[in-house]
Amino acid sequence: MLNYEVCKNWTFPDIVHRYTERDTMLYALGLGFGQDPMDRGALRFVYEKDLQAVPTMATTMGSPGIWWRDPRTGADAVKLVHGEQDIRVHKPLAPSGTLVARNRVVSLTDKGAGKGAIAVLLRTLIDEASGETVAESRNVTFLRGDGGFSETSGVSDPGPEALPAVPERAADIEVSYATRPETALLYRLSGDVNPLHADPDIAAKAGFHAPILHGLCTYGMGARAVIEQVLGHDAARLKRLAVRFTSPVWPGETVRYELWREGDTVLRLRATVDARKTVVLNNGVVEIS
């Protein structure tokens, strides 16, 4: 059974994350930037000349790992699922640098016995040289096997505010990206080496017919859609991207991104694999400048 006091007060050491221009280009390649060698806008993310970092690369930095596996948490780590991701960018991510990551547990919500629990973690990324906050990354995890913990602890935090549904009208912008069969193998080189995304045997044990694509790769491709279709390849204008993960993507599938404009600085986002008639990202909120 999940131990509320232990998890809520879990102490994470500061994590120093150093990255180079090569890391920045590798991340962008994992999202499919550069597939068209004549696309000069995309080239700014995969070539050292006038290099820009994709803001969602911040999600790959300073992770504390799967700390839920520590027996002191009491959590059933096998049944946890990444439910939502929300990043807020306070200053443009430099093409190379050193960041200090500070992680903390914001809330633990009991949905009831047999209904699971929700954990919200916040990661703050701070520029080591200036001390300025670069980005805040909010991770919502669904702990499917840990409902009912409040019956023992007597404590449960209010749940996170739900992301709003996308509009029912037709999208203002649509773009489709074909992933490659080796996309997960490329993306994992940016830091998420979970064998679920590479090893067919591990994927089978998890109930999948093949290794699945990282949810954060599908998420990063959403940032790519905004950068290419709305921001004219000016990544510094992307200030926030929040989504709910609703279904996995398999490498080699084509993902269609829909964007709705809601004023000058807000868009809504959804992503679908049309071949399976499956929504893979939903309730997306995008903020731009």
Instruction: Enumerate the active-site residues.
Output: 192, 197, 212, 215
User: Would you call 236 exposed, middle or buried from its count of C-beta atoms within 10 A (0-12, 13-18, 19+)?
Assistant: middle
Report which residue type is found at 72.
R
3-class SS of residue 82 = strand
Q: Which ranges of 124-190 does DSSP label H, i.e. alpha helix? A: 150-153, 183-187
Report which residue type is found at 264.
D
Question: Which of 196, 177, 144 lies closest to 271, judged by CA?
Answer: 177
3-class SS of residue 62 = coil
Q: Which ranges of the chain does DSSP label H, i.e. alpha helix? A: 4-8, 21-30, 40-43, 150-153, 183-187, 200-205, 215-229
Rounded Cα gap, residues 107 and 3, in angstroms: 13
Contact 240, 261 (CB under 8 A): no
